[in-house]
Amino acid sequence: MRKYTASVTTFLLLSVMACAQLGLVTPQNHTQRLAYAYTMVTAVRDQAKVSLENKRISVVDAQQVLRLSDLARVSLDQARVMMEKGDQANGLQTLQVAEQILLQLQSYIKSKEARMKGNGAWAQAPRLQLS
C-alpha cells in the first residue's frame, strides 16, 4: 500500500510539474494563482518526501524544504486574508514572495537530486539560499 501511495503521489507531482513547464496550467486571476500556489506547497512537500525516501536528498535538506514550505504556506494564508480584505497590492506582493519560495524549493530539490545522482556526495551539494 505504501509503494502504491508513493507511486500515485509521484505521478501527481510529476503531472503538475510537467503541466506547469509545458504552460498547460496558467492561472488567469489572483484567486487561481493563490489556489495554484497552495497546490505547489503540497507538490514541493511530496517531492521532498519521495526524494528523501529514495535517498536522493538528505534528511537535513528535506527538513529545510519542509520549514521553508511552511513559511510559504503561511505567506499564502496572509496573502489570502489581505486580498479578502481588499488589500490587493500587499496581497499580491505576499503571493509573489510565496511563489518565489516555492519555485526555488523545486529547483533546489532538483539540483540536489542531480548532484546525488551524478556523484553521490552529500557534502558537495550547495545549501539552499533564497534571494
> What letter would DSSP give residue 124?
T
Per-residue pLDDT of the chain (131 residues; tens, 9 = 90+): 555 555 555 555 555 555 555 555 677 788 899 999 999 999 999 999 999 998 898 899 999 999 999 999 999 999 999 999 999 999 999 999 999 999 999 999 998 887 776 655 444 445 555 65
* Residue 79 Cα distances to 7, 18, 51, angstroms: 32, 26, 29
Contact 123, 64 (CB under 8 A): no
Q: Is the pTM of this model over 0.85?
A: no
CA-to-CA separations, 114 to 30, 56, 110, 123, in angstroms, rounded: 34, 8, 6, 14
Query: Cell numbers of 111, please?
Result: 539540483
Q: What is the pLDDT of residue 70?
A: 95
What is the pLDDT, as a whole number, of residue 118?
63
CA 122, 110, 76, 66 torsion: positive or negative? Answer: negative
What pLDDT, on the 0 to 100 scale, is given for residue 130? Answer: 60
C-beta of residue 43 within 8 angstroms of C-beta of residue 103: no
Q: What is the pLDDT of residue 28?
A: 79
pLDDT of the residue at 114: 79
